[in-house]
Structure 1
Amino acid sequence: MSIYVGNLSYDVTEADLSSIFAEYGSVKRVQLPTDRETGRVRGFGFVEMSADAEETAAIEALDGAEWMGRDLKVNKAKPREERSSFGGGGRRSDSFSRNY
């Protein structure tokens, strides 16, 4: 499981995020999604830690804490939802009519 970290500064780096979470245990991985067009950090990230107890301690300590001028939102990450591979605005293929 991983931790969702929201309301991050756009200046944050993976090293910054890793160091703040390392105070609560062993950090396995840090991800900071970036905008495809600008390459800029999108303002949220994910942290994976070695043990559930470490994750819980980090969440309890950091949720709502002020860091880099922002109040962090920290909680268990929700599983990523499956996205449709279609780009048709959510319409089902059988809803199209063909007039030949």
Structure 2
Amino acid sequence: MNIFVANLNFKVRGQKLQEVFEPFGEVTSARVIIDKKTRRSKGYGFVEMPNEIEAAKAIQDLNGQELMGRQMVVQQSKGKEGGADHPDDSNSSMME
């Protein structure tokens, strides 16, 4: 399951996201979206977990939890990255 994570502290990187989600099960990828021009985080990212039950538990337990001073918004991704449900910008790149 692809999980959308928003309202991230700008210092959070993919490794930190992976560490937060791993207690719930296997994480196949964790990445934060970075603005290509400024090289700063856009404040959101994606986590991929292959087990849907574990992913659902992670979403339930982590949504609204604080990470590095910011309350995370965690939900199932509704489409592909950059789709209509998430910001899209040609100035974006991913940082794992």
Deviations 1:19-76 (A, max 9, x none): 0000100000112111021111110000001200111010000000111101110000
Aligned length: 82
Partner residue, 2:75? 75
Partner SS, residue 28 of structure 2? strand
Percent of pairs with identical residues: 37
Query: In structure 2, what is the Cα distance between the partners aligned to 1:31 and 1:46?
Result: 5
Query: In structure 2, what is the Cα distance between the partners aligned to 1:34 and 1:17?
Result: 14
Q: How does 1:9-28 map to 2 (within 5 A)?
A: 9-28=9-28
Q: How does 1:1-100 map to 2 (within 5 A)?
A: 1-80=1-80, 81=83
Partner SS, residue 33 of structure 1? strand
Partner residue, 1:86? none
Two-structure CA RMSD over aligned residues (Å): 1.2
Matched residue type, 1:32: V
Query: In structure 1, what is the Cα distance between the partners aligned to 2:40 and 2:78?
Result: 23
Larger of the two Rg values belongs to structure = 1
Structure 1 stretches lacking a partner, 5+ long: 83-100
**Cα contact 2:13–2:31 (8 A) shared by 1:** no
Partner residue, 2:89? none
Which aligned runs of 4 or more in structure 1 are off by greater than 3 angstroms? none
**Cα contact 2:5–2:73 (8 A) shared by 1:** yes
Q: TM-score, normalised by structure 1?
A: 0.77
Q: TM-score, normalised by structure 2?
A: 0.81
